[in-house]
Chain A
Amino acid sequence: MELVERSVRSWLASGKESELEETVSGVTNGKITLVDVVKALGPYLTSEEDEIRTKGVDFLSSVLGKCPPEKLNRQAVRVLAVFYCSKLEDIETTTPVLKGLSFLVKFPPVDSSDATDILSALFKHIRMKALVQSTRFYVFAIVDTLLGKHLKALQTMGKEFLTGYVNLAEGEKDPRNLLVAFAVARTILTQFDISEKIEDFFDITFCYFPITFRPPPGDPYGITADDLKKALAACLSATYAFGRLGIPVFLEKLTAGSPTTKRDTLQTMSLCLPVYGASVARDLGRKIWSSMKLEILQPTDPQTESEALSTLQVFVRTLQGTSEDIVDLAKDICLECIDVLREPEKAQAKAAMKVLCEFVTVSPMLSRFSISQATQHLVGLFHNPDEVPTRPAVVLLLSDLVFASRSASSRTSVSVSPSGEDTKSDLPLGPAKDDLLGVFTVSLKTSNTAEPALQALQGMVTTSGLFSDEELGFIVHAVDELIQPNDIEEISENALSLLSDISVNAPHHVADQTLPLFFAQLPDRAPAKEAQEERAKYRRALSALSTLCSQPTLFEILVVRLTTKLDLVSRSTAGLSDTEPVAAYAHSILTAISKTLSSKVEKKAADVPKYVDRLLPWLFKLFIEASTSEGSSVLIDSRVLRVAGRIVSLVVETLVLERQQRFVDKLFGTFLDGNVQEITDGLLHASGDIAFTPLDPAANADQRQAVVLFAAAVMPLRKDVAIPAKDLSSFLQSIVVWADSERSTQIQREATWHILASIVNKHTEEKSVASFLAILLDTYRSSRLHNCDVPADARRSIIKLWTWVTKALLVRTHPIALEFVNCLFELLDDDAVDWDAAQALGELGSGDDVLTKRNFAVIKVLHAQKFFNSILPRILEGAKACDGSRRESAYLVALASLINAVPKATYSTQMPSLMPLLLRGLDLPDPAIRASIIATLTATLKDGTSDNTAVSLYASTLVLAMLKNCIFADTPEPRVRIAALRYLSLLPGAVRYDLLHPYKANVLKELAKTLDDPKRAVRKEAVNARTNWYKYNG
């Protein structure tokens, strides 16, 4: 007891928090009771001096606030409640009393009589206007808590409570209090009988609409306008009784407000209308529609328009309610829109169609009505000879309608039976189908209506169950007439995608009618070099075929027809002096297959794996024949082989483990042992005269080319596929020797790198591979890589090979990789190949098409980051030498190519230290390096998240460097100019204006020169950059 008295005294004097804590802990552990506290406070609570009394009450309230709930019994609560209620009369102590009450009402022993007493006292004594925000907050908190805990008791208070609360809440302005007030209002509106007080509640809620609150900068309370909007919207949509009063308010705000207010109003209306109900919507409907109409037919901006459309949908749905027939108003709106469609080419017609499209989604009944009305009108218009000029617009409008009803039917067609007849009548488009089909097929015959018609047809075709097989055939026929390949310039993409969509369900129509048209366009002999038109023609046909033939049946046809064609074409070189056009034709044919295949693989089509037996043997036969035949065949052209390789890779990639194993066994049997019948499935037989030994170092140039296909087949092998070489180590060594041969060409070397990288990466654990790596690091390194006597050209290839092997190890973060990296670092001191080694270091961090997840390579996450972090310090060290030596430049080159290769997250934090080096790199003469440095800088700029302090620091230097790189006279490479201009166009968005202000005039002047660049692509970037600098203002 004395303890309490002492604490009280010292708290009143000092206000120290610790005294309060002491008392609270006393209460918590039972040493002190609250009664003791009250007793100790006795004299202060009744003191004559205002200040002491206030402090006394405050102490009590503060203790109460920290007191654990079980420490107060019923008795104590009652006493405190009575005490506080009586204290409310005392104006001086209002704040601490309310604070105490806000804590007290949370205690469980408070019962309903306390609740009503407290509220009555509040209503009687509190004048909100006289209180500050924090005090008013206590009032709202008290009401909120009591509403939550003693709803019943409050309901029985009835009118007294409602009137009292309205008086309290009236005129509140602070967002913190409003947030609570809105929650309270929502509870009252939903839980109380407010029929008599509806206007009062309307006044204290709708007066806040729309919320225009903007939180002050650095607002510690973190209340956003959005929080308030949501809370208020919950109030406004709490009761149907607001309907008649609320709608006029909404409409007024909608007409007069700013775009933001309009959107806010529309969103709130969407919430409220369903609550207000059908009868309100019907009574006030005409007014609502006439306001909404303006927002849709003459929209302020697209955002508001789409908001208005979705509100309209809610409105119509509410209007319609559960009514059996179409409500008059809905009908009128629909007809009004159709009236607007009289001028289909005008902007409002589009908007009106949007309204109708919303109708389509509301209910099946309205959908049928609006579709039949709209199609009837528009189809009539279409066939009216006076309206021919508006046909494109009519078709566009109908196409919108088709797509809207497609999405409507996909939502409702769950119960549709598959039996044909019935489904048609269920689909909203069903009754109008024939009319529409007529309009669209007629439209296909005129060029300005063909494109929209194709889109509309696509919408209809993809509405499941709409068309019969016969009708689909009819459509295919009509489209074929459009793309009759003789007289068209370009084949419409829309036509192709429409045909593709049809082929999903009815491939036979496309196979029978369309494909022959295109196949007929492919000549058996390649057009001569000068025959540009014919070349363009077969290319169009091929590209159309590859787009069309994704569907399994069609793809099979494509493969059969094109491989036959390829065979024919490749043999037709007799008597030609220039075989290049033939090779180009073969290349185009193979590209068509590979494009389709690639899109199928991406879509994980199930029919790809079977082509290992159907397509690949054929391909291998063609190419092995070509490489072993007398005289050069066009097929061994590197470019042709590359595409063929892509096809092989794509198919092998999709095989399961066993099939890959079977395939690779045959592959090695053919390429290593010369058993050509294996990989060609017996299409070829080993004949005594010509041996197929492409991997023999002595093999002739033609046979060597076949290794490209071999590499393509090895690349996508799974990790668990055993490489069927007798001794893997000596096989790999022989590949290296083969690659090092002077007779190897670039593409052949590339093939070997891919083989090495792929096998090393997937089989690192095997002893034979380890011994191969050891040989590389030991004898190969000293005799080839580091041997200055080897010609520089050969060494460049060796560096490439080395890079690939290193990369294969790096991506799986194998420890031995670092030794390989070290060997490259040592080369930076070698004048002959230093820059190549430097670039190789960068390439190590970059991605490629060989070591990928798709190719089943073993890849560890974050390997690029680890690599980057391990070698960056070393490169920085070397680059900082700053002596202008060749060695320093080599390090800069390494840095530039490395940084360009790795993801930007790896280096963005290091940017401040990298920036000076990169800027020095911009002075290097090599354009490729400058382009990659600029690309790096651009990547860091674009990423808005990383802080641009480094850029700001060097902004002026950057501007000058970029200006130098974008002028035609100084920089002949368009690539660099484009990169520099792109960077300049981004700078204004990233750097504070005041930093670059001094340069603005100069930049604009210099950029004016770039506007006259000889290259169009450069000029385009120049215009962008200059525009951005014009707009750059403080």
Chain B
Amino acid sequence: MNGEVFNPNPTVFALSKRSGRKSKFETGQSLWIDNDSQLEHTEEDSEEESIDQDEIYDLIRSIADPEHPNSLEELRVVSAEQIDVGHNQVTVEFTPTVPHCGMSTLIGLSIRVRLLRSLPQRFKVDIRVKPGSHQSELAVNKQLNDKERVAAALENPTLVETLEKCLDTAGMQNDLYT
């Protein structure tokens, strides 16, 4: 990242555990201790597991911060509580580490692209800066939720390259805890 560093010394938080979802065994719902693999478990019950807050959080928590070698989760830029899932509607709120952070749009854009690729098309995704956490909140929100602007931004090859770098780690969540 050339030029100005917006927040040279951010607060780093510890990673939280895997999502709070519990297996049937942990809650004592199932009678027997299952030694069999989870796959067979899914085979048996045909109940539908809908997309929830935790799942969306899992998708975006490992995106890398453009300025630091940390993930968005570690910097508490995103958190599970700041995600709201409704019927075909997702709202993601994120918190820049400092109010003058010039990277906010880039972070928002990387969340947007990650969800664009990973969520079914039926969802409408809103991405917002946490109210009061950024000096040009309105401008950032506007940029992030305007289809045309997002599309225009993604035409810029340098921007896309930076974006891909942030998204490179996004899938790591899967390997980290399993």
List residues of chain A with CB under 8 Å of any chain B CB. Answer: 297-299, 301-302, 343, 345-348, 350, 392, 396, 452, 490, 529, 531-537, 539, 580-581, 584, 587-588, 591, 639, 973-975, 978, 1008-1009, 1011-1012, 1014-1017, 1019-1020, 1023-1024, 1026-1027, 1030-1031
Chain A residues with Cβ under 8 A from B122's Cβ? 1012
B24-32, B104-112, B131-139, B140-148: which lies at the A interface?
B24-32
Closest to A639 in B: B32
Chain B 6-36 per-residue mask, 1 if CB under 8 angstroms from chain A, else 0? 0011111110000000000111110111010
Q: Is the CB of B31 within 8 A of A529?
A: yes
Q: Is the CB of B11 within 8 A of A346?
A: yes
Chain B residues with Cβ under 8 A from A396's Cβ? 14
Q: Is the CB of A1027 within 8 A of B8?
A: no
Closest to B121 in A: A1008
- B1 CB to nearest chain A CB (Å): 10
Chain B residues with Cβ under 8 A from A539's Cβ? 25, 28, 33
- List the 3 closest A-B pairs by CB distance, nearest first: A536-B28, A1012-B120, A535-B28
**Distance in angstroms between the alpha carbons of A804 and B13 in the assembled complex:** 55
Q: Would A301 and B69 be within 8 Å (CB), given that A346-B11, A1020-B174, A1030-B117 are in contact? A: yes
Q: Is the CB of A533 within 8 A of B12?
A: no
| B155 on the A face (CB < 8 A) | no
**Distance in angstroms between the alpha carbons of A602 and B5 in the assembled complex:** 52
A1023 touches which of B8, B48, B69, B118 (Cβ 8 Å): B118
Q: Is the CB of B12 within 8 A of A350?
A: yes
| B124 on the A face (CB < 8 A) | no
Q: Is the CB of A974 within 8 A of B39?
A: yes
Q: Is the CB of A1023 within 8 A of B31?
A: no
Q: Is the CB of B10 within 8 A of A346?
A: yes
**Please, could you name 29 A-B residue pairs with CB atoms under 8 Å apart, sorted by A?**
A298-B8, A299-B69, A343-B9, A345-B13, A347-B11, A396-B14, A529-B31, A532-B28, A532-B29, A534-B28, A535-B31, A581-B31, A591-B33, A975-B39, A975-B40, A975-B43, A1008-B120, A1011-B119, A1011-B120, A1012-B122, A1014-B48, A1016-B55, A1017-B38, A1017-B42, A1019-B51, A1020-B174, A1024-B174, A1027-B118, A1031-B164
**Distance in angstroms between the alpha carbons of A668 and B15 in the assembled complex:** 56
Chain A residues with Cβ under 8 A from B25's Cβ? 539
- A486 CB to nearest chain B CB (Å): 16
- B110 CB to nearest chain A CB (Å): 13
Chain A residues with Cβ under 8 A from B13's Cβ? 345
**Distance in angstroms between the alpha carbons of A563 and B156 in the assembled complex:** 69
**Distance in angstroms between the alpha carbons of A1011 and B125 in the assembled complex:** 15
Closest to A978 in B: B39
Chain B residues with Cβ under 8 A from A584's Cβ? 31-33
Q: Is the CB of A347 within 8 A of B49?
A: no
Q: Is the CB of A1015 within 8 A of B174?
A: no
- List residues 78-125 of chain B with CB under 8 A from any CB of chain A: 117-122
List residues of chain B with CB under 8 Å of any chain A CB. Answer: 5, 8-14, 25-29, 31-33, 35, 38-40, 42-43, 48-49, 51, 55, 59, 68-70, 117-122, 164, 167, 170-171, 174
List the count of A-B residue pairs having beta carbons below 8 Å apart. Answer: 100
Chain B residues with Cβ under 8 A from A581's Cβ? 31
**Distance in angstroms between the alpha carbons of A299 and B174 in the assembled complex:** 26
A1027 touches which of B35, B119, B170 (Cβ 8 Å): B170
Q: Is the CB of A1026 within 8 A of B32?
A: no
Which of A299, A301, A975 has the most chain B CB within a 10 Å cutoff?
A: A975
- A694 CB to nearest chain B CB (Å): 25
Q: Is the CB of B55 within 8 A of A1019?
A: yes
**Distance in angstroms between the alpha carbons of A123 and B3 in the assembled complex:** 50
**Distance in angstroms between the alpha carbons of A1010 and B126 in the assembled complex:** 22
B26 touches which of A298, A534, A536, A1027 (Cβ 8 Å): A536
- B2 CB to nearest chain A CB (Å): 12
Chain B residues with Cβ under 8 A from A587's Cβ? 32-33
Q: Is the CB of B32 within 8 A of A302?
A: no
Q: Is the CB of B11 within 8 A of A345?
A: yes
- A569 CB to nearest chain B CB (Å): 15
Closest to A299 in B: B69
Q: Would A536 and B27 be within 8 Å (CB), given that A347-B70, A1015-B49, A1019-B55 are in contact? A: yes
Q: Is the CB of B8 within 8 A of A974?
A: no
Q: Is the CB of B55 within 8 A of A580?
A: no
**Distance in angstroms between the alpha carbons of A347 and B122 in the assembled complex:** 39
Chain B residues with Cβ under 8 A from A1008's Cβ? 120-121
**Distance in angstroms between the alpha carbons of A536 and B29 in the assembled complex:** 8
**Distance in angstroms between the alpha carbons of A1024 and B114 in the assembled complex:** 11
Chain A residues with Cβ under 8 A from B33's Cβ? 539, 584, 587-588, 591
Beyond the given A531-B28, A533-B28, A1017-B38, could you list 4 further A-B residue pairs with CB under 8 A, ordered by the A residue number?
A: A345-B13, A532-B29, A587-B32, A1012-B122
